[in-house]
Amino acid sequence: MSEQSVIDARQLAALLTDTKLVILDCRYDLADKEAGARAFAEGHIPGARYASLHQDLSAPLGRYGGRHPLPEAEQFQQFARAAGIDTDSRVIVYDDQRLAFAARAWWLLRYFGHERVSILDGGFSAWQNAGLPIAKGPADPVSPGDFSATPSPERLLDHTTIYRQLDNPPWQLVDARDAARFAGTSEPIDPIAGHIPTAINKPWIGVTREDGSLKSVGELRAHWGDLPADDLLANYCGSGVTACVNLFSLHLIGRDALLYPGSWSDWCAHIVYPETETAEKPAM
């Protein structure tokens, strides 16, 4: 795995004195929005800053855009600068949920033009298990960074684009949710069960081990090996968050891929509140 994309706990520990290092703690709990911030205060990697999914890594909710809309460039730039991120910073992101939220931060940084970002393999648990030092309380103050956020819309697909090309898509839709939600036998969050027509299922949790560590590049290639190498993969999940775990794994094996950031929650919104040009509800 590329050192630029993945870093282990010992490697990160050796970098803690680097003045160009920025660490983002992305732990989060969808059922308790403040749980991640509390966990950060109880213990975090020294020098880390907290990145909240709903405050820092998402825009405010609207009718469309899903449960965790992408932040606008100005919002993300403000957060990144407050975290001390410069144009040439090396950013390390971590969580403790098998990359679920760290991958979102990784993807957003790259989407807004900051390529020098890595994910901590195994997350906070790996750091703890290595017996490395832990800081408590609020984050240390930092000088504002100078990072300028420039979005890369070519990395995205939106509802209209997908809807119009369902009959002959130039990509393969990949649904990162668990098998039951994909099949429509269980739907604990969204108002409609099922999946986008033509999609196949690759649950995001399948790219890591139970301890939260990434599978090897060989295992990841095998995981994605049933999809032709020249297929353009368009990834979605419930709200554009865990699909980024799939995107990260595809990056590690050298495959370009797209994100439908609104994902299933946005698709449902367009069915419940159809726009004029898509007034006919798509088949499920």
CA distance 92 to 120: 7
Cα(239)–Cα(284) distance, rounded to whole angstroms? Answer: 18
CA-nearest of 57, 56, 123, 116 to 89 is 116
Whether the pLDDT of residue 2 is over 60: the answer is no
Tokens encoding 26? 């992305």
CA within 13 Å, CB half, 262: 19
Confidence of residue 1 (pLDDT cuts 50, 70, 90): very low
Tell me: pLDDT of 283 over 50: no
Residue 276: per-residue pLDDT: 60
Question: Which residues contact residue 192 at a Cβ distance below 8 angstroms, ignoring those fewer than 6 apart?
Answer: 268, 271, 272, 284
pLDDT exceeds 70 at position 100: yes
Q: Report yes or no: 200 and 223 within 8 Å, Cβ to Cβ.
A: no
- Catalytic residue, from 26, 237, 244, 268: name it: 237
Record the tokens describing residue 130, joined without a space.
């290595």
Topology alike, domains 6-151 and 154-278: yes
Q: Which CATH class is domain 6-151?
A: alpha beta
Whether 244 sits among the annotated catalytic residues: the reply is no
**Beta-carbon contacts of residue 240 (< 8 Å; ≥ 6 apart):** 66, 68, 69, 70, 104, 259, 260, 261, 262, 263
Mean pLDDT of the region 169-185? 97
pTM, two decimal places? 0.95
Q: Specify the pairing of strand 257-259 against strand 233-236.
A: parallel
Structure tokens at 170: 């130039």
Mean pLDDT of 157-174: 96
Is the pLDDT score of 281 beyond 60?
A: no
CA–chain centroid gap for 64, Å, is 19
Structural domain boundaries in the chain: 6-151, 154-278
Predicted local confidence at residue 275, as pLDDT? 77
24-47 pLDDT tens trace? 999 999 999 999 999 999 999 999
Per-residue pLDDT of 41-68, as tens digits, reads: 999 999 999 999 999 999 999 999 999 9
Query: In this model, does residue 108 exceed pLDDT 80?
Result: yes
φ/ψ of residue 99, rounded to 5? 80, 0
From the options 3.40.250.10, 3.90.1150.10, 3.40.50.1450, 3.40.47.10, give the CATH code of 154-278: 3.40.250.10
pLDDT for residue 4: 84
What per-residue confidence (pLDDT) applies to 19?
A: 95
**Partner residues linked to 173 by β-bridges:** 234
